[in-house]
Structure 1
Amino acid sequence: MTDAADTPPAIEQDRELTQDGPALRLWMIDASAYIFRAYHALPPLTRKSDGLPVGAVQGYCNMLWKLLKDMKGADGPTHLVAIFDHSEKTFRNTLYDQYKAHRPPPPEDLIPQFPLVREATAAFGVHCVELPGYEADDLIATYACKARDAGGEAVIVSSDKDLMQLIGRGVVMWDPMKDRRLAEPEVFEKFGVGPEKMVDLQALIGDSVDNVPGAPGIGPKTAAQLLDEYGDLDTLLARAGEIKQPKRRQTLIDFADQIRLSRELVRLTCDAPAPEAVDDFAVKDPDPQTLSEFLDKMEFRSLARRVGDGKAEATETSAFAPKRAPNLSAPVASPRYAPKEVAAPSEPHVFDLDAYECVQTEEALDRWIERAREAGVVGLDTETDALSATHAGLCGVSLALGPNDACYIPLTHEHEPAANAGGLDFGGEADTREPLTQLDKPTTLAKLKTLLEDPSVLKVLQNAKYDVAVFARRGIRVAPYDDTLLLSYVLEGGLHGHGMDELARLHLGHEPIAFKSVAGTGKSQKSFKHVQLAPATQYAAEDADVTLRLWRILKPRLAREGLSTVYETLERPMPTVLADMELAGVRVDPDRLKRLSSEFGLRMAELEQQAHEIAGRPFNVGSPRQIGEILFGELNLPGGKKTASGQWGTDASVLEELALTHDLPRAILDWRQLSKLKGTYTDALTAAADPATDRVHTSYQLAAASTGRLASSDPNLQNIPIRTETGREIRQAFIAAPGHVLISADYSQIELRLLAHIGDIPELKRAFKAGLDIHAATASEMFGVPVEGMPSETRRRAKAINFGIVYGISAFGLAAQLGIDQGEAGAYIKTYFERFPGIRGYMDRTKAEVRQAGFVSTVFGRRIHIPAIHSKSGAERQFGERAAINAPIQGAAADIIRRAMIRMPGALTDAGLSTRMLLQVHDELVFEAPEAEAEAAIAVIKRVMETAAEPAVALSVPLDVEARAAANWDEAH
């Protein structure tokens, strides 16, 4: 032990405060986990002097400094060590050569940061330890046992489940991201077993990340139940033949040796050769000169100011500052990941609108740009004169560096035309109003370009896709950026909307300036370019200010809640991808669309005349009130029900039922269908096409559905019917540019494939792997009929059940769909679950999960909140259960196509192709390719789409993509 005379005063004081506690308190930092958490929690950052990647180092330093600050207290350590992984190969690879075989290599920009992190650890005065042939977890286990056996206490600074087996007498864990103590109760709460059974539990469930095989099909809950019933793994395997469930019993018998091997792989050793003695880890303050030189070399100037000389008393102003010192002597309540509602801010944020600056000189612009570079993070927003990013004019740009520290840079504001400006009349004379003072637009954008493309400055935006597209049209590629809309979407998808105003109310207790208060409403609303500079500055600068404040609240939560990977891999890259697609647009044939509109109009007129003849008098076919009066008041058709407003209900479901026995409802339905197609598509597409290019530029919404599915608007190109002749006629109007073709690439039955994987359904897996007709195979399994010569009606029924099961279909819904009685439909569903018991198991697990947590997750980690599950209404709760069953499947499909879209532009470029991605329609991607490279493009597209899940998830069924090239969208589909 270090001599008391050599102990820094701060540490000596801590010992006096804790003299009744254990003499030895050893804290061990899981440094490797710290590194990766830092890398994924922060945007890329390079050292300005030489471009060296240092983002992970900076994040690691911030996290380490926060820990050093937090631990200065009664429960702080007497000894502290950071433990690293030494290499990939360990003694476990000798036991099992596939151990961690599927782990991808570290990112290229992270590799040079590993030695710098070790140097940083030493600079902060923390001892570093690693050992060849052993994982960091084994060293942590060894030192934890040494501390415990010496009568002391070991605190493992980590939240890794692999280390939870060590928890017990004298050993606890501390999750620094959640300020949470992990002891026996917390382990049991999460896994259903105590720490003493964690090795057995992990041996059963395996670990896909480390490629520990485990027992196929046995998850954490089943494993916990088995261990609770049989006591331990050896007893369970010895008595496996007693288990009632046939599949579970056979799995444990067939894979017993694999399970025992898995136990050896997950069990940590407490007798690794300790490289150094615990005494060497005595806590010490960092050497001020060493720390200063390191931070100066890394160019971490802001961190250097916060750290000061590295002593415990240094002033902490960082966003990483602790809210309180950790208390390890008492349990800490486990936080809920999914509250039923988002907590309001403890007090509203104060906004000083008069503090914002209107930038009207180059000197002021240069000052703001330089300050943004020094800060390294800047809030950013644009003001435009239209909602469409592909055609909007840029009125100005706003920047924010801190609360009430924001500006607006007007570029193209104009005085409102005299005719609209309060009745001004200059009597034929020139406009006498003083010209607006604004910077030269090209010069300003050139200067902003250096900031917005600077890789060392993070740009923070709300709905980044819009601003990225606006700047891209002006030759500026904004990067790197964070998007507060997407941060909120990842953290709280399904709980509320993610618009800036709603987020400001939720998280800041602030109501932003309404657009109508500066631009007016209705017919009197004016373009933003006509808003006077003073109110324009307050409105625009506040947007950037709000956005940056939201980022400071939301971004740290990603790491704390384990959602950094979801944001980084599924969300953050998407705005640029979609902006490029929107700017590219898709070409349409306006003449064909006009002809279709005319044809639809003529057919509507015919149907209207037909309806009048059937009814015996003229009426407005577009009026639900008049339709109801005729159907139920005059014709006395059965099944009429009045709505709350007193009118007869005439929605599609009512008319479809009546159309089975009467011609008038069918004529009305056909008229409605054509009216929708004409108004929504043929007329709207003609109006939306750019007259200079004949290209339509839709707008995609990233946060429209909680499952991750995209939405399309202005115009909506995702709901064009594909199974009707009229829908196909509309798709034929989408054409390729001259010398090009359209390529449609569509995932085949992706949701059923994901159901087979997620639910672990052997029968479906076999069918997909064999390339069988999945609906025929299902029918054969259910009804015992051979695939060869199967009646089409039998296959159709199996198909309806296959797709219906994914959406939690009821016997009533299936009966309506197949035109059979409810009892027969119920028998079909019962048979289905008997033939595929894994599906019922998946549904039951999912419903239990959503009831407990309030959310479900996809295999890629996307969290989908289901608020209806907590409703007081039984019907709403049942709806929540059905939504929860479908969400992991539909969400995984959405995640997969997002992963494909993110990789696609780079893959096409790497292949030397000029093919462009134009559209996404749920499970389909549409491309435009030169005719000569269509075949090569299809090969690349299929490869990227079919491997999109990898390496994050190794699907147990193949993904199949059908791709074709043709002159128009319908022929390519």
Structure 2
Amino acid sequence: MENLVHESSNGDGNTLYLIDAMALAYRAHYIFISRPLINSKGQNTSASYGFTNSLLKLINDQEIDHIAVVFDAVGAGGTFREDIYEDYKAHRDPPPEELLENLPFIKEIVQAMDIPVVEMEGVEADDVIGTLARNAEEDGAEVVIVSPDKDFKQLLSERVRIYKPARGDQDFEIITDDDFREEYGLDPTQFVDMLALWGDSSDNVPGVPNIGEKTSMKYLKKYHDVEGCIDNADEIGGKRGQNLVEFADDARMSKELVRIKTDLDVALDWHTLLAAQPKMEKLKVLFSELEFESLLDRFDVEVEEADEVEEGENLEFDFGPYEEVKTIDADAVDYSFLKNRHELEQFVETLTEQERYAFDTETTSTDPHYASLVGMSFAWEDGVAVYVPTPMPDGTSTDDVLDLIGPILERETTKIAHNMKYDMLVMRRHGVELGGPVLDTMVGHYLFAPEENHNLNDVARSVLNYKMVPITELIGEGASQVSMRDVEVKEAARYACEDADITLQVAEKLEEKLQEVDLNEVADDIEYPLVRVLADMEFVGIRVDTDVLDRISERLAGELDELEGRIYELAGEEFNINSPQQLGEILFEKLDMPVISKTSTGNPSTKESVLQELSTDHEIPGLVLDWRKTYKLKSTYLDSLGELVHPETGRIHTSFNQTRTATGRLSSSDPNLQNIPVRTAVGREIREAFVPQDDWQLLAADYAQIELRILASMSGDEAMQETFRTGGDIHTDAAARVYGIDPADVTRDQRRKAKEVNYGIPYGVSPWGLAQRLRVPVGEAQDLITQYQKSYPGVSTLLNQLVEKARQNGYAETMLGRRRYIPEIDSSNSNRRSWAERVAVNMPIQGTQADMIKIAMNRVHERLASEALEARMLLQVHDELVFEMPPAEEAALRTLVEEEMRDALPLDGVPVVVDIDAGDNWLDAH
């Protein structure tokens, strides 16, 4: 067994440093997200402190003469990009309020340091930085852009480089144009085309479906730019070639969205952007106000030294980090790897004695359904870990390694891992079932801090204040990335051992933290056992009839052609229907339709609600809505699901995400099966394509109106409970009470409105919001809400209590104690406070439903095994479970599933009802 013990660029007066203020502020805020800096006034000062440290670190390390800090214009409207594409950044969450409240302080600190502050309305800070960079470059200057934003790579040149702040500490990674060419095999100017094809989900830039990072690189090496790819779509062929033709306008629009402007009218000469003399007294006042005591301790020394500084000299700063970040210490750890079969046999004996240990796999892919095992690491004592490479250096094969160690892994010993579902799937594909209780540190951290990031690097930083070695140091990134299989065993071992060791240490801390907040039972009884259930579901996957998908897709393509033809005929010309700008020109300029609302930049809006209102007076808006809905279904599901079928299993293996939602609900991805619309005819048709294995059937079980039943139970409202107890229709009953009529006299429209109120009230819907949903005047919506509150007084009381409880505790919780922290509940911003109050009401209800179905999944899974049924659980979609079964087991499975779903979490005063059906496809079984 082998032990594994184990430059700055200076300014020359001709270099301009451009600081991306918002990106650095974001980074600073989230570095301290798990232990925010709160001063005695109750202010969260994390972003100010972290930003200041980053800036001072940069100043200390570089001899800076020319510098500017570039901000987005605060309070300004949108930018020209929203005019090009109304949904640009539409899915991005607004910045945390605590971060926004720090921006004025950050700006004051920068100004007190006598560093120029630059901002410009109507464009993003990226565009200002791009223009300043190009202007300085053309004047012969060197430019350094300080930002973690990948989009700046398009500006790289011989004279422009990027300093990317490293994650978790105060270092900077230098990126040059040569680095870019080595990583991507392209010229930096082609990065715009790469992003245009690839798209950007964070900014909601559409790109071209099925073309990702590596595919876009390959095409651009051959065809140079977006237009070249489109022109050669026939040569590319296949689905991607079709998409390049079908989504050509999206690609061109995406290119305009991601291109950083370099030609703004910025009336600034880079020579004037000078780092001058800091205003020391002003800085001291600011640091005192913000209570940056660790800065002030050193600041006093700097003030004394400042008296002796000659006019015009730059001051040196040494403020240090807020808290020293720990990294791997080769002298303090005992990391080793096995070299031969004899060492493996000895290790197996040692591992057999352990009743609890951390386990991690190293593989060739992040997709467990394709990954090959490269090695395994183990740790059961802090600072000590062992790596088992597969195959071993002496030639012992992977199969032989697993024959020896597999039986030990299958024993009922506690396994600790970070994202253990991945390890379970990988090992199962290699013939080994990981046995015993699960302790998943990713899931545990999610329970403790649901709003934070949960990858191991971030969790280690949050829980242990420890910075791990990034995987990119071993395998690189982008075009130059290699497989873990290609990494030298000694280097892979050091990385893998750290993973296992740190996972073990995180687990020990998390157990204490979960105990402190009374979440250990939710972890041990619900979340940790669910990891194994989800792994089994993902391993099995679900079969898809691609012929059905192709049939629907072909029909929709014809419908889109017909819709486009009719729209063009009515408009009198062809245009890009997916472009809000071009659509707006047709509707509001050519056809002179009334402007209902405007975008943030003052242009007429073409959003859905506007088109709905306009559709009553003209045919085009309604046709555009139909086109959008059809286009989205075709591109999102029909044209992509078939490509996700695994070549070996012939099934789709969606990934169930246990740590994504703040309420505790599961989500799914690759593909997202929870967003298939079930209220539209085409959405239901898509479900028809999901089928069982030959000669079997699907069975679907769905909780009936479960969130309203939970609401009735939690509120104790007698009227609502009575409706559920007697088997009445809750929406008809609500309509009868709200309108003051007999249930038999309730009309379909009245029931529809009552249904919207039923589902809207528990989530804090406003009169305006309800009016939008019902398409009625706000006054009528207000009357409906008022009558509902009178009809169900227990519900109204509960909702007020939930908000008040969240305000007192700072969090909302489910019936079983799952928490969601809501710091905005006391916000001075009314919009954010209202949002927090809605969360305070929503989370206990929706989170309790999530707990209920997870308990049911665990129990159903256990009984399927104990009763030796062949039936298998395949999917979970919100309130529904989908199974695959031989027909002979239908009666037994119905009974089992109904019992466990019904009894998972009994509700006081309200029966839990489960609807179950079976069929030859998902649609028939629903």
Normalised to the residue count of structure 2, the TM-score between the two structures is: 0.62
The amino acid across from 1:845 in the alignment is Q
- State the partner residue of 1:360: 339
Q: 1:907–1:944: 8 Å Cα contact kept in structure 2?
A: no
The CA deviation at 1:711 is 0.5
- State the partner residue of 2:406: 449
Which has the larger displacement, 530-539 or 825-834? 530-539
Q: 1:589–1:694: 8 Å Cα contact kept in structure 2?
A: no
Give, in whole Å, the separation in 1 of the partners of 2:883 and 2:575.
46
- State the partner residue of 1:401: 380
Give, in whole Å, the separation in 2 of the partners of 1:721 and 1:944.
27
The CA deviation at 1:648 is 5.5
**Per-residue CA shift, 1:900-939, capped at 9, x if unaligned?**
0000022234445321110000100000111122122112
- State the partner residue of 2:359: 380
Q: Does 1:959 align with 2:898?
A: no
Aligned counterpart for 1:818 among listed residues 755, 762, 774 = 774
Which has the larger displacement, 394-403 or 793-802? 394-403
Q: 1:410–1:439: 8 Å Cα contact kept in structure 2?
A: no
Q: Does 1:678 align with 2:634?
A: yes
Q: Does 1:770 align with 2:749?
A: no
- State the partner residue of 2:710: 754
Aligned counterpart for 1:557 among listed residues 513, 528, 533 = 513
Give, in whole Å, the separation in 2 of the partners of 1:947 and 1:848.
31
Q: Does 1:664 align with 2:641?
A: no
Aligned counterpart for 1:602 among listed residues 558, 563, 569 = 558
- State the partner residue of 1:208: none
Give, in whole Å, the separation in 1 of the partners of 2:375 and 2:614.
57
The CA deviation at 1:445 is 1.5
**Per-residue CA shift, 1:17-74, capped at 9, x if unaligned?**
xxxxxxxxxxxxxxxxxxxxxxxxxxxxxxxxxxxxxxxxxxxxxxxxxxxxxxxxxx
- State the partner residue of 1:255: none
Q: What pairs with 1:255-334 in structure 2 (closer than 5 Å)?
A: none
- State the partner residue of 2:536: 580
Q: What is the SS of the residue equivalent to 1:962?
A: strand
Aligned counterpart for 2:842 among listed residues 881, 886, 890 = 886
RMSD: 2.3
**Per-residue CA shift, 1:761-805, capped at 9, x if unaligned?**
110100001000111111122222111242111111111100111
Q: What is the SS of the residue equivalent to 1:861?
A: coil
The amino acid across from 2:390 in the alignment is L
Give, in whole Å, the separation in 1 of the partners of 2:340 and 2:423.
23
Q: What is the SS of the residue equivalent to 1:893?
A: helix
> Closer, same or farther in 2 for the Cα pair 1:394/1:650, shift >3 Å?
farther
Aligned counterpart for 1:472 among listed residues 424, 428, 433 = 428
Give, in whole Å, the separation in 1 of the partners of 2:414 and 2:889.
37
Q: What pairs with 1:178-327 in structure 2 (closer than 5 Å)?
A: none
Aligned counterpart for 2:472 among listed residues 505, 516, 525 = 516
The amino acid across from 2:474 in the alignment is V
Aligned counterpart for 1:481 among listed residues 438, 447, 454 = 438
Q: Does 1:411 align with 2:385?
A: no
Q: 2:598–2:605: 8 Å Cα contact kept in structure 1?
A: yes
Give, in whole Å, the separation in 2 of the partners of 1:859 and 1:906.
24
Q: What is the SS of the residue equivalent to 1:707?
A: coil
- State the partner residue of 2:449: 492
The amino acid across from 1:890 in the alignment is Q
Give, in whole Å, the separation in 2 of the partners of 1:651 and 1:385.
44
Q: What is the SS of the residue equivalent to 1:709?
A: coil
The CA deviation at 1:438 is 5.5
> Closer, same or farther in 2 for the Cα pair 1:780/1:548, shift >3 Å?
same
Q: What is the SS of the residue equivalent to 2:905?
A: coil
The CA deviation at 1:746 is 0.5
> Closer, same or farther in 2 for the Cα pair 1:654/1:864, shift >3 Å?
same
Aligned counterpart for 1:708 among listed residues 664, 681, 685 = 664
Q: Does 1:970 align with 2:926?
A: no
- State the partner residue of 1:935: 891
Aligned counterpart for 2:792 among listed residues 830, 836, 840 = 836
Q: 1:353–1:538: 8 Å Cα contact kept in structure 2?
A: no
- State the partner residue of 1:351: 328
**Per-residue CA shift, 1:859-917, capped at 9, x if unaligned?**
12212222332444221111010011011110111111001000002223444532111
Give, in whole Å, the separation in 2 of the partners of 1:652 and 1:368.
63
- State the partner residue of 1:533: 489
**Per-residue CA shift, 1:605-656, capped at 9, x if unaligned?**
2222222222222112233343334334444433465555787644434433
Give, in whole Å, the separation in 1 of the partners of 2:461 and 2:605.
38
> Closer, same or farther in 2 for the Cα pair 1:614/1:543, shift >3 Å?
farther
Structure 2: 5+ residue runs without aligned partners? 1-320
- State the partner residue of 1:864: 820
The CA deviation at 1:807 is 1.4
Give, in whole Å, the separation in 2 of the partners of 1:906 and 1:352.
44
Give, in whole Å, the separation in 2 of the partners of 1:539 and 1:373.
24
Q: 1:504–1:510: 8 Å Cα contact kept in structure 2?
A: yes
The amino acid across from 1:849 in the alignment is K
Aligned counterpart for 1:626 among listed residues 576, 582, 604 = 582
Q: What is the SS of the residue equivalent to 2:691?
A: coil
The amino acid across from 2:411 in the alignment is D
- State the partner residue of 1:321: none
How many matched pairs?
603
The amino acid across from 1:393 in the alignment is S
Q: 1:468–1:575: 8 Å Cα contact kept in structure 2?
A: no
Give, in whole Å, the separation in 2 of the partners of 1:936 and 1:458.
32
The CA deviation at 1:943 is 1.3
Give, in whole Å, the separation in 1 of the partners of 2:840 and 2:357.
38
The CA deviation at 1:473 is 2.4
- State the partner residue of 2:146: none
Which has the larger displacement, 554-563 or 748-757? 554-563
Q: 1:360–1:439: 8 Å Cα contact kept in structure 2?
A: no
Give, in whole Å, the separation in 1 of the partners of 2:564 and 2:472.
42
Give, in whole Å, the separation in 1 of the partners of 2:372 and 2:595.
54
- State the partner residue of 1:211: none
> Closer, same or farther in 2 for the Cα pair 1:740/1:753, shift >3 Å?
same
> Closer, same or farther in 2 for the Cα pair 1:526/1:634, shift >3 Å?
farther
**Per-residue CA shift, 1:306-356, capped at 9, x if unaligned?**
xxxxxxxxxxxxxxxxxxxxxxxxxxxxxxxxxxxxxx9965334136853
**Per-residue CA shift, 1:658-691, capped at 9, x if unaligned?**
3343332322222222222222212221001124
The CA deviation at 1:847 is 0.7
Give, in whole Å, the separation in 1 of the partners of 2:869 and 2:560.
45
Q: 2:442–2:456: 8 Å Cα contact kept in structure 1?
A: yes
The amino acid across from 1:535 in the alignment is E
Q: 1:761–1:838: 8 Å Cα contact kept in structure 2?
A: yes
- State the partner residue of 2:179: none
Q: What is the SS of the residue equivalent to 1:493?
A: coil
| Larger Rg belongs to | 1
- State the partner residue of 1:783: 739
The amino acid across from 1:411 in the alignment is T
Structure 1: 5+ residue runs without aligned partners? 1-343, 414-435
Q: 1:381–1:540: 8 Å Cα contact kept in structure 2?
A: yes
The CA deviation at 1:721 is 0.6
Give, in whole Å, the separation in 2 of the partners of 1:645 and 1:526.
45
Q: What is the SS of the residue equivalent to 2:743?
A: coil
The amino acid across from 1:384 in the alignment is T
The amino acid across from 1:536 in the alignment is A
The CA deviation at 1:442 is 1.2
The amino acid across from 1:454 in the alignment is R
The amino acid across from 2:746 in the alignment is M
Give, in whole Å, the separation in 2 of the partners of 1:874 and 1:505.
33
- State the partner residue of 2:804: 848
